[in-house]
Amino acid sequence: MRQEQIHAAIRIVKREIRRWREPVLGIVARESDRDPFLILISCLLSLRTKDKTTDEASHRLFALARTPETMLKLPIKTIEQAIYPVGFYRTKAKSIHQICRQLLDTYGGIVPDSVEELVTLSGVGRKTANLVVTVGYGKPGICVDIHVHRISNRWGYIKTKTPEESEKVLRNTLPKRYWITYNDLLVPYGQHLCLPVSPLCSQCKLTDSCDRVGVTKSR
């Protein structure tokens, strides 16, 4: 995929994903009026966890607490019970407590709005930090999860080996007006059509511009 083709590709992806359910973090953002704290915690829960499980766990947890102050008052065991069966739920429960303590001690209970500060919080990597910055604060940033990394390379739009490297390259390649929405578009596209193994290329409307890098079998 050449640089000039990215505009048409994003228009097509934006149209195609309307048939699928909105990703859970988009739902949390919309229902919470883009509360950075709730987005941060939901993103932490979503790591290595399916959307349906994350959605249910988020609702259970936020029914108990919705701020760093009230969350910190919950026993870790209570948080574990609320978020089970998300992946690594015990570790995540401890991280949530630590994050709330850090937010209260260092930031006055306010979630910071920069990637550099967010990654200092317990269990927060660049993917989560970029999501909070873009979805919670509407500031420029590129969240690169495994779908964004895989599809961008499969298209031939970039050539990288890790999501971290993809973020750096995309910051120099992707037009800035797409930064905030790029992850929101490619995640459902990667979950439902541009699958990791045997993607549904026969149903994809990007076949003319996609280089299909690494695709050995498709449907």
Active-site positions?
127, 145
Instruction: Return d(Cα 208, Cα 25) in angstroms, integer.
Output: 31
Residue 84 phi/psi, 5° resolution? Answer: -60, 135
Contact 24, 120 (CB under 8 A): no
45 contacts: CB under 8 Å, gap ≥ 6: 54, 57, 58, 61, 83, 86, 92
DSSP class of residue 66 equals -
To 10 degrees, the CA torsion angle through 123, 113, 65, 59? -80
